[in-house]
Amino acid sequence: MNSTDPMVIVGGGQCGARAAHALRENGWDGAIILLGDEGRLPYERPPLSKAVLLGERTAEQCEVYDDAFYRGQRIDLRAGAAAASIDRAAHKVVLADGACVAYHRLLIATGAQLRRLDVPGCELPGVHMLRSAADAQAIAGDLTPGRRIVVIGAGFIGLEIASSAVARGCEVVVLEAAPRALMRAVPEAVAQRLVDKHRSMGVDVRFSVAVERILGDARVTGVELADGATVPCEAIVAGIGVLPRIALAQAAGLDIADGGIAVDETLRTSDPFIYAAGDVSSFPHPLFARRIRLECWKNAEDQARIAARNMLGHAEPCSAVPWFWSDQYDMTIQIAGLPALGATTVARETGAASRVFFALDADGVLVGASGVGRTGEIAKDVRIAQELIARRARITPETLADRAVKLRSLLMEEMS
Ligand SMILES: Cc1cc2nc3c(=O)[nH]c(=O)nc-3n(C[C@H](O)[C@H](O)[C@H](O)COP(=O)(O)OP(=O)(O)OC[C@H]3O[C@@H](n4cnc5c(N)ncnc54)[C@H](O)[C@@H]3O)c2cc1C
């Protein structure tokens, strides 16, 4: 290895593309190679379950940068070049076609892959899952007015798909194995508001139901549940979660933690020449004193920038407060911090149909905030909550619930 070798990024997704750009912005003048395996320009996934399914955007309109950008920045984007293995001793990535690419520093940004629905009939035409632009295009083709669509899984992706399918004129049934929606992500009150909204839009949401098999011959015709009941439908979309794509790292002997590639607070793996970022990285968050892995747009943005800087010799910690959003119907959900760590939930009314739920840990420290309602009625409070979480603010439940107390004034107090 020598310093004239390229910076190499495995994973031509949002995080990989942003990291390539950040390397250039931060002064790397040498070669940058971005390896992707989807055969297309890197793109952002959040619109896939929203605007793309609604027919408002094409997959091309979700691209992170256009073709000319990569050329202009001298980023060697190889969109159909899957990395097959990493030769850590020789500092080389071996591609699926056998070619080798030497690296000065390597970033693994391989994202996540779908958790597969493993029941009889899952291979039938009309059974879908959503991760890629190609998946979104196939699902959009099946969302024709009047059709009955079964969504398996009441997580964020499943609920967004349900909302898009309703907007396309479909009849929708959501089947969830757990007793409620969004079990790990948000407090029950937030999940309940969302489910109420779906039901008011005509969605049949069912909890504690197990899918036994998919029915159909040439194409899906329904779902059989564990209790023997059947749900007829013309198409199915399963949204049952993802698994980080760690196979490459694992085969190379890199440390793995909590299902992701283990990195330190600077996003460096157990090999000092290799970094990992985005959905695939498991990193120690200084604020929460624990290792976490995030599957969200903002984390891919933040970690891309930090990984690029640290590949260039900085030692910047990754300490941003997590932030996530979801859009369903006319509602937005915004989440800051880690609400799941809360011992107490406090509701604050921020508009006629909008609420922000704060999560306080056992010591009374603010660890999470989940807003649900109209964007303009929750976004500001969630943003300020993000800063209060970063400061480990202790605020009484009474103060948080009192609409007359401006959150900004609490932040000012913390800062003084
Ligand atoms: C439908 C959908 C909706 C979403 N909505 C939201 C939302 O509303 N809000 C939010 O905050 N987040 C949302 N997300 C999550 C967000 O899109 C992800 O967190 C983000 O895409 C992570 O970026 P990444 O670059 O780490 O991974 P990815 O986007 O998965 O990119 C990784 C890339 O690496 C490629 N790759 C993998 N292995 C190899 C290999 N060996 N060689 C070469 N290339 C390889 C993959 O094919 C992929 O192209 C959504 C995700 C999906 C799927």
Confidence of residue 183 (pLDDT cuts 50, 70, 90): confident
Domain annotation covers residue 325? no
135 and 233 belong to one structural domain: yes
Which atom, in ligand 1's list, is nearest to the CA of 11? 34
CA–centroid distance, residue 333 to ligand 1 (Å): 20
Range of the structural domain that residue 59 is part of: 7-113+243-311
pLDDT of residue 415: 86
CA 416 to chain centre: 35
Which atom, in ligand 1's list, is nearest to the CA of 14? 25
194 and 205 belong to one structural domain: yes
Domain annotation covers residue 384? yes
pLDDT of residue 4: 82
For ligand 1, pick from 65, 194, 279, 375 the residue to mutate: most ligand atoms within 8 Å of CB. Answer: 279
Which atom, in ligand 1's list, is nearest to the CA of 296? 19
232 and 253 belong to one structural domain: no
19 and 32 belong to one structural domain: yes
pLDDT of residue 249: 98
Which stretch of 129-133, 245-249, 364-368, 406-410 has the lowest confidence by average pLDDT? Answer: 406-410
Domain annotation covers residue 318? no
CATH number of the CATH domain containing 338: 3.30.390.30
β-pair type (127-129, 112-114): unpaired
pLDDT of residue 1: 40
Angle CA(390)–CA(391)–CA(397) in degrees, nearest 5? Answer: 100
291 and 143 belong to one structural domain: no
Angle CA(335)–CA(305)–CA(376) in degrees, nearest 5? Answer: 30
252 and 107 belong to one structural domain: yes
Q: What mean pLDDT do residues 131-147 have?
A: 97
174 and 108 belong to one structural domain: no
CA–centroid distance, residue 103 to ligand 1 (Å): 23
148 and 206 belong to one structural domain: yes
Q: What mean pLDDT do residues 184-210 have?
A: 95
Q: What is the pLDDT of residues 56-112, one digit of tens each?
A: 999 999 999 999 999 999 999 999 999 999 999 999 999 999 999 999 999 999 999
13 and 109 belong to one structural domain: yes
Which of 220, 240, 260 is the endpoint of a domain?
240
Which stretch of 177-186, 195-204, 332-341 has the lowest confidence by average pLDDT? Answer: 177-186
Over pLDDT 70: what percentage of the chain? 99
pLDDT greater than 90 at residue 416: no
Contacts of 368 (CB under 8 A, 6+ apart): 335, 336, 337, 338, 339, 340, 341, 342, 358, 359, 389
pLDDT of residue 3: 66
Which of 251, 284, 311 is the endpoint of a domain?
311
Domain annotation covers residue 385? yes
Domain annotation covers residue 89? yes
Domain annotation covers residue 165? yes
Q: What is the pLDDT of residues 321-346, one digit of tens each?
A: 999 999 999 999 999 999 999 999 99
Which of 191, 220, 240 is the endpoint of a domain?
240
pLDDT greater than 70 at residue 2: no
Q: What mean pLDDT do residues 135-142 have?
A: 97
Residue nearest to atom 19 of ligand 1 (CA): 296
pLDDT greater than 60 at residue 364: yes
225 and 260 belong to one structural domain: no
Q: What is the pLDDT of residues 365-390, one digit of tens each?
A: 999 999 999 999 999 999 999 999 99
235 and 256 belong to one structural domain: no
**And the tokens for 357?**
């739920």
pLDDT of residue 414: 85
155 and 304 belong to one structural domain: no
Q: Rounded distance, CA 290 to CA 185, Å?
A: 17
- Give the pocket of ligand 1 (CB within 6 Å): 10-16, 35-38, 45-46, 48-49, 82-83, 109-112, 130-131, 157, 245, 248, 278-279, 295-298, 300, 324-326
Domain count, the chain: 3
Burial class (CB in 10 A: 0-12, 13-18, 19+), 169: exposed
CATH number of the CATH domain containing 132: 3.50.50.60
Q: Rounded distance, CA 180 to CA 393, Å?
A: 30
Domain annotation covers residue 321? no
Domain annotation covers residue 323? no
CA–centroid distance, residue 114 to ligand 1 (Å): 10
